[in-house]
Structure 1
Amino acid sequence: MSSHDANKHDKHDKQSLPYIARSGLAGGFAGCVAKTVVAPLDRVKILFQASNPDFRKYAGTWSGAFSAGSQIYRENGVMGLFQGHSATLLRIFPYAAIKFMAYDQIEHILMPTREQQTNLRRFSAGAISGMISVLFTYPLDLIRVRMAYHTRSTNNGHLSKPTFIQAASEVYREAPKAQPSALPPAATTTLFSRFPILKFYRGFTVTLTGMVPYAGTSFLCWGFLRAHFVPQSPDGTPRRPTPLADLVIGAVSGAVAQTVSYPYEVVRRRMQVGGLTHPDRWMRWDETVRTIWQSRGWRGFYIGLSIGYLKIVPMTAVSFAVWQWGKRILDV
Structure 2
Amino acid sequence: MSNVSNQLLSGALSGFATTVCLQPFDLLKTRLQQGDGTIRSGRSASLLISTTQDVVTASGLKGLWRGTEASLVRNVPGVALYMTSLTQFRTWMATSQYFALVHQRSPPDSANVSVLPKLTSTGNLLAGATTRVGVGLLLNPFSVLKARYESNMYAYDSLGGAFVSIVRQGPHELLRGFLASSLRDAPYAGLFVVFYEGIKREASYLAPPSSVSHSALIHSISAASAGALATMITQPFDVIKTKVQVRQEDRYHGFIKTVHTIWQQRGISGYFDGASLRMSRKVLSSAIGWAAYEGILMFVKTSGLRKQHI
| Percentage of pairs with the same residue | 22
What pairs up with 1:262-273 in 2 under 5 angstroms? 262-273=235-246
Runs of 5+ unmatched residues, structure 1: 1-10, 12-17, 153-159, 175-195
After TM superposition, give the deviation of residue 326 of structure 1 in Å. 2.1
Matched, 1:214 2:192: no
1:167 alignment partner AA:
A
CA distance in 1, matches of 2:64, 2:141: 22
CA distance in 2, matches of 1:143, 1:95: 14
CA distance in 2, matches of 1:136, 1:238: 40
Give the TM-score normalised by the residue count of structure 1.
0.77
Q: Deviations over 1:242-270 (max 9, x none)?
A: 22211111110110111111111111111
CA distance in 1, matches of 2:90, 2:49: 39
After TM superposition, give the deviation of residue 114 of structure 1 in Å. 4.4
After TM superposition, give the deviation of residue 150 of structure 1 in Å. 1.6
Paired residues, number: 281
2:126 alignment counterpart: 124
CA distance in 2, matches of 1:282, 1:302: 17
1:323 alignment counterpart: 293
1:37 alignment partner AA:
C
Runs of 5+ unmatched residues, structure 2: 103-117, 303-310
Supply the RMSD in Å over aligned alpha carbons.
2.7
1:301 alignment counterpart: 271
CA distance in 2, matches of 1:52, 1:69: 18
Question: Would you say the 8 A contact 1:232–1:238 is kept in 2?
Answer: no
1:256 alignment counterpart: 229
1:314 alignment partner AA:
L
After TM superposition, give the deviation of residue 233 of structure 1 in Å. 10
1:141 alignment partner AA:
S
2:152 alignment counterpart: 150
- Max radius of gyration: which structure? 1
After TM superposition, give the deviation of residue 61 of structure 1 in Å. 2.2
Question: Would you say the 8 A contact 1:131–1:212 is kept in 2?
Answer: yes
1:35 alignment counterpart: 19
CA distance in 1, matches of 2:162, 2:156: 9
CA distance in 1, matches of 2:196, 2:183: 21
Q: Deviations over 1:94-133 (max 9, x none)?
A: 1101110011111112235642631111111111121122
2:108 alignment counterpart: none
Q: Deviations over 1:50-99 (max 9, x none)?
A: 2169x9556x5235323322321121012211111101001101110111
What pairs up with 1:1-332 in 2 under 5 angstroms? 18-51=2-35, 56-57=40-41, 60-112=43-95, 114-115=101-102, 117-150=119-152, 160-174=155-169, 196-231=170-205, 242-274=215-247, 277-278=248-249, 283-331=253-301
Q: Find the residue that maps to 1:242 and give its secondary structure.
A: helix
After TM superposition, give the deviation of residue 283 of structure 1 in Å. 0.4
Q: Find the residue that maps to 2:35 and give its secondary structure.
A: coil
CA distance in 2, matches of 1:100, 1:146: 25
2:223 alignment partner AA:
G
Deviating runs (4+, > 4 A) in structure 1? 55-58, 237-241
1:303 alignment partner AA:
D
The 1:70–1:52 alpha-carbon spacing in structure 2 relative to 1, beyond 3 Å, is farther
CA distance in 1, matches of 2:297, 2:274: 33
2:294 alignment partner AA:
Q
CA distance in 2, matches of 1:73, 1:308: 20
